[in-house]
Amino acid sequence: MELERLVEQFAQNIAAQTDCILRWDSKTGNKHADKAFAAFAKLRERGDAGRDALAALFVSPRMDVRVIAAAFLLRHRPAEARAVLEEAAKGEGLAALGAQQTLKNWEEGRWALDLPEERSSR
């Protein structure tokens, strides 16, 4: 199925980006980030069905993948995404830091990863 393939692309590229960051390889990491964001854009084109498909990553074995998926889905699934982020924020490392910063931005009204179409076009 197309949605599952896009979710897998998103997850694989987020994981690869994290691995690159840990190796101090930002150039390759940025390429993986671009591919992950492109997969998310295609999921967004499918509306809530695409976003719902991405929510499957809330139980990914990789914390970094769970955190990034939750960060992108805060507006669409706030309770579930926030629970993922709050759990991750209790830990240590890059994923925990990302979760903490995402929650802070959300609480301060500065989160802007997946705005409703009418707001994102302004």
pTM: 0.88
For residue 110, the model assigns a pLDDT of 85
Model pLDDT for residues 69-78, shown as the tens digit of each residue: 999 999 999 9
Q: What residues contact 34, with CB distance under 8 A and at least 6 apart? A: none
Using alpha carbons, select from 76, 87, 83 the residue that is nearest to residue 54. Answer: 76
Which tokens belong to 97?
A: 């830091």
pLDDT value at position 80? 97
Asked whether 43 and 56 are in contact (CB, 8 A), the reply is no
| Residues 36-62 pLDDT 10s | 999 999 999 999 999 999 999 999 999
Q: Cβ distance 60 to 24 under 8 Å?
A: no
Give me the percent of the chain exceeding a pLDDT of 70: 93
Q: What is the mean pLDDT of residues 1-25?
A: 95
Q: Give the class (CATH, top level) of 2-115.
A: mainly alpha
Asked if pLDDT for residue 13 goes beyond 50, the answer is: yes
The H helix count followed by the E strand count for the chain is 7, 0
- Give the start-to-end residue ranges of the domains of the chain: 2-115
